[in-house]
C-alpha cells in the first residue's frame, strides 16, 4: 500500500516594503510553474507570504497597518495565483495577514489557507501561538509585534485533502509540541508550516546561532513523535535590514529530513511523500490508543504557565 503525494516547497527570498503584491504573486506563480514541472501536486508557501514581515515595525496609524492585510481571498492581486493553480491543477498552502469583518467587528489574524487543484479554498487556519510582544519596545533593534497585530486563532484541525489527512500551522506553532499532538489526535498525516524567523531574537541573543538548529529540531521531533510528515517553508534572507533564516525542509514520519532548501532566496525543492509511511509509526511506537497516558497530562490543559514548586518559590528565584 502506498499513497504518494509530491510536495514542493516554495521558499521565498525577502520581500521589501516597497514590493507590490502583484510583484510577489508573480514570484509565487513562477515557483508554482517550476513545482508543476517537477511533478508537484501541491506547493507550500511561507507565512505572511504577500508582503514584507510588517510586525517588525510599530505602526500607529491603523490605515497604514491595515494596508498589509487582505480583506478577501482571493482578491485582485492574488487571483492570478488561483487561476494558475486551476490551470496547472496544482494545490497550494499560502500564509497572509487576514482582516476579517465579523458579526462583532473587525478581527486580525495570521492566517493560512489550503487551496485544492481546482483553485478552491478548502481550508483556513488562524495562527494559535503568536510570538513576540504587544507594546512598542524601543530597545529592540526591530520589533516583533505579532501579539499586537493579531489575535490567536481557535485551535488546530485537520482536513481530508490531497488523498490524506492534512493539517496546518504557522511559524512559532512549530516549537510547541502541543501543535503536532492535537493534530495527530485527529489523524493528521502531513502538516504544512510556513514561517518567518529572524536570526536575531532580541530577548535571548545567546541563541541566535542556533536558530536553524532549533527550527529543524522542532520539525523533526514533531514529525517523529506523531508519525506525520512536516513541511516547513521559510521566508528567508535580508528583508528591510533584518536577516531571517531559510532552512525550509520536508521531514518524514521517521524524523529524517528528506528535502531541503539551501539558499535564502526564492527556491523550489520537492519530495515524494508516501502518506502510508505514517502508519509505521502511528501503529507501533506512537500508537496513541496503546501507549498514551492522559491521566498524567492534566497540567497541560489546566495551566497556562508554571505552577509553584513544592516549597512555594519559583525556578530561578531566591536560590
- For the annotated catalytic residues, the residue numbers are 47, 127, 171
Do residues 151 and 108 touch, judged by C-beta distance below 8 A?
A: yes
Element spanning 31, H or E: helix 21-37
Give the C-alpha distances (Å, rounded to integers) separating 181 from 94, 215, 228.
22, 17, 10
Shortest Cβ 114–a second copy spacing (Å): 14
Cα distance between residue 110 and residue 131, in whole Å? 11
Pick from 195, 259, 273: nearest CA to 229: 273
Shortest Cβ 218–a second copy spacing (Å): 7
For position 298 contacting a second copy by CB under 8 A, the verdict is yes
Which of 47, 70, 98, 189 is the binder for a second copy (CB under 8 A)? 189
Q: Which cell numbers hold the place of 3?
A: 499513497
Residue 231 CB-density burial (10 A; 0-12 exposed, 13-18 middle, 19+ buried): buried
Question: In the stretch 90-109, what mask flags binding to a second copy with x, by CB under 8 A?
Answer: --------------------
Cβ proximity to a second copy: between 36 and 159 the closer is: 159
In the chain, the N- to C-terminal Cα span, in Å, equals 57
Query: Using CB under 8 A, which residues numbered 116 to 145 contact a second copy?
Result: 128-131
Shortest Cβ 240–a second copy spacing (Å): 23
Which of 62, 76, 103, 299 is the binder for a second copy (CB under 8 A)? 299
For position 150 contacting a second copy by CB under 8 A, the verdict is no
Cα distance between residue 76 and residue 59, in whole Å? 25
For position 316 contacting a second copy by CB under 8 A, the verdict is yes
Which of 106, 185, 238, 262 is the binder for a second copy (CB under 8 A)? 185
Going 30 to 32 to 38 to 44, the CA torsion angle's sign is: positive
Which of 82, 92, 149, 156 is the binder for a second copy (CB under 8 A)? 156
Q: Which stretch binds a second copy (CB under 8 A): 48-56, 234-242, 265-273, 307-315?
A: 307-315
Which of 48, 49, 184, 273 is the binder for a second copy (CB under 8 A)? 184
For position 314 contacting a second copy by CB under 8 A, the verdict is yes
- Indicate left, alpha or beta for 112 from its phi (over 0: left) and psi (-120 to 50: alpha): beta
Strand, helix or coil for residue 121 = strand
Do residues 229 and 278 touch, judged by C-beta distance below 8 A?
A: yes
Shortest Cβ 184–a second copy spacing (Å): 7
Q: Which stretch binds a second copy (CB under 8 A): 42-50, 62-70, 97-105, 311-319?
A: 311-319
For position 39 contacting a second copy by CB under 8 A, the verdict is no
For position 306 contacting a second copy by CB under 8 A, the verdict is yes
Which of 73, 100, 122, 280 is the binder for a second copy (CB under 8 A)? 280
Q: Which stretch binds a second copy (CB under 8 A): 64-72, 110-118, 232-240, 304-312?
A: 304-312
Which of 38, 106, 121, 210 is the binder for a second copy (CB under 8 A)? 210
Q: Which stretch binds a second copy (CB under 8 A): 15-23, 50-58, 68-76, 154-162?
A: 154-162
For helices 177-184 and 211-224, the axis angle rounded to 10 degrees is: 20
Cα distance between residue 179 and residue 192, in whole Å? 12
Strand, helix or coil for residue 120 = coil
Amino acid at each position: 500500500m502506498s499513497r504518494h503525494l509530491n510536495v514542493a516547497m516554495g521558499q521565498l527570498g525577502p520581500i521589501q516594503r516597497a514590493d507590490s503584491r502583484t510583484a510577489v504573486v508573480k514570484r509565487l506563480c513562477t515557483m508554482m510553474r517550476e513545482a508543476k514541472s517537477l511533478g508537484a501536486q501541491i506547493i507550500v508557501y511561507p507565512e505572511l507570504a504577500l508582503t514584507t514581515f510588517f510586525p517588525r515595525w510599530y505602526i500607529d496609524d491603523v490605515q497604514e497597518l491595515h494596508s498589509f492585510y487582505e480583506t478577501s481571498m482571493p482578491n485582485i492581486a492574488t487571483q492570478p495565483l488561483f487561476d494558475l493553480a486551476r490551470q496547472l491543477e496544482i494545490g497550494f498552502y499560502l500564509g497572509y495577514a487576514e482582516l476579517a469583518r465579523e458579526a462583532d467587528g473587525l478581527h486580525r489574524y495570521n492566517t493560512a489557507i489550503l487551496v485544492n487543484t481546482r483553485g478552491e479554498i478548502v481550508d483556513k487556519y488562524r495562527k494559535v501561538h503568536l510570538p513576540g510582544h504587544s507594546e512598542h519596545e524601543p530597545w529592540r533593534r526591530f520589533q516583533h509585534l505579532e501579539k499586537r497585530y493579531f489575535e490567536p486563532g481557535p485551535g488546530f484541525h485537520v482536513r481530508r485533502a490531497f488523498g490524506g489527512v492534512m493539517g496546518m500551522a504557522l511559524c512559532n506553532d512549530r516549537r510547541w509540541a502541543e501543535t503536532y499532538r492535537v493534530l495527530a489526535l485527529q489523524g493528521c498525516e502531513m502538516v504544512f508550516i510556513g514561517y518567518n524567523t529572524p536570526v536575531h531574537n532580541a530577548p535571548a541573543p545567546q541563541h541566535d546561532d542556533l536558530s536553524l538548529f532549533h527550527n529543524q529540531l522542532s520539525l523533526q521531533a514533531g514529525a517523529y513523535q506523531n508519525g506525520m510528515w512536516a513541511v516547513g517553508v521559510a521566508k528567508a534572507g535580508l528583508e528591510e535590514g533584518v536577516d531571517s533564516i531559510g532552512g525550509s525542509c520536508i521531514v518524514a514520519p521517521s524524523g529524517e529530513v528528506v528535502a531541503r532548501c539551501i539558499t535564502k532566496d526564492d527556491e523550489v525543492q520537492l519530495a515524494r511523500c508516501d502518506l502510508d509511511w505514517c502508519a509505521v509509526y502511528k501503529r507501533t511506537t506512537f500508537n496513541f490508543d496503546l501507549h498514551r497516558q492522559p491521566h498524567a497530562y492534566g497540567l497541560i490543559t489546566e495551566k497556562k504557565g508554571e505552577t509553584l514548586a513544592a516549597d512555594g518559590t519559583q525556578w530561578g528565584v531566591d536560590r
